[in-house]
Structure 1
């Protein structure tokens, strides 16, 4: 069962991911130095950024009208919802910045060309980072999943202060509420 619209999702029929412990090692981790290409043409190394950074990772965004990578995509716990999650960060971007996020980034294993189309189509006010070589995912041991022979990130959000992971949101469900949860955390945990 695939729900056709990328942003209109009935979460009651989508299986929620469970906490498999895949992110338990991340709080307190100093991120490894891994430069990643961004949709704004820059190269970003999350380990070197000053201030508070919000990074939300997701498996893959879809393109309207294109077929999912597998027929049962919606039934893979944590797979569905990348576009709603991304749009929620877009919609709350100004509030996230006002609550102390010096920068916000999306992160996936899709290549920059694919991400740039999505960032333009969705009018994102923040860059999306490509980990298509799985360099950061491997070095930081980010939780991943295999779908149709492709390694994808599991949905996650990180609060990073001066290159060190301060807080982790994992698992994330429903994805469209993730930005709101991050915003509440930022408001109650100022730097």
Structure 2
């Protein structure tokens, strides 16, 4: 009997080693448009910050991409974003700014930020600039190249911790808070 994936089930991704080269890397001089309409130069962000990366958020009433539920690690972008929203005060108390990033357009990012009431900026990398600069892992769905889910802690322009693959997505921020708390 063929197994059908329910809307609530998330297929677990495996660590394919595609992010192993990132710890210790410097953040490149890449500028991305944020949900406030400003260009954010990643290499100019000072101090400690968290960049969580996700494939794409869905929109109510709009069907998912064909085959989306069968791609390990694809489902869960909204719960991941909401987890960072819900743990935002803790992350700020640990000295970390938060940014979310996907390959979605600035308009799609703005819609998601407003709908989910996110207290931090989302960044649009619809040109996959960070993929090119850092060698970030991606996958293709319905002809679109999208980022694989991951989170990074950056301190003074250097990646100090990478969480990859992220599973389950709704626990991502909690995991990051736990790791940062251990460094405090």
**Aligned counterpart, 1:152:** 146
1:8-27 paired onto structure 2 within 5 Å: 9=8, 13-27=9-23
Residue among 86, 90, 93 paired with 2:85 = 90
Stretches of structure 1 that go unaligned for 5 or more consecutive residues are: none
**Aligned counterpart, 1:30:** 26
Residue among 148, 171, 174 paired with 1:177 = 171
User: What's the offset of the Cα at 1:14?
Assistant: 2.5
- What is the rounded CA distance, in whole Å, between the counterparts of 1:27 and 1:152 in structure 2? 21
- What is the rounded CA distance, in whole Å, between the counterparts of 1:96 and 1:161 in structure 2? 14
**Aligned counterpart, 1:74:** 69
Q: Does 1:166 align with 2:160?
A: yes
Deviations 1:11-52 (A, max 9, x none): xx4320000011000000001100000001221122121110
Moved over 2 A (4+): 1-4
Q: Does 1:188 align with 2:182?
A: yes
- What is the rounded CA distance, in whole Å, between the counterparts of 1:33 and 1:2 in structure 2? 40
CA contact (8 A) 2:24 2:158 kept: yes
Deviations 1:79-125 (A, max 9, x none): 00000000000011001100120x10000000000110110011110
Deviations 1:118-162 (A, max 9, x none): 100111100000000011111111111111111100000000011
- What is the rounded CA distance, in whole Å, between the counterparts of 2:28 and 2:137 in structure 1? 15
Stretches of structure 2 that go unaligned for 5 or more consecutive residues are: none
What is the number of residues matched between the two proteins?
A: 181
- What is the rounded CA distance, in whole Å, between the counterparts of 1:67 and 1:181 in structure 2? 30
CA contact (8 A) 1:2 1:73 kept: no
- What is the rounded CA distance, in whole Å, between the counterparts of 2:171 and 2:155 in structure 1? 22
RMSD: 1.1
Q: Does 1:62 align with 2:58?
A: yes
Q: TM-score, normalised by structure 1?
A: 0.92
- What is the rounded CA distance, in whole Å, between the counterparts of 1:163 and 1:38 in structure 2? 18
CA contact (8 A) 2:56 2:102 kept: yes
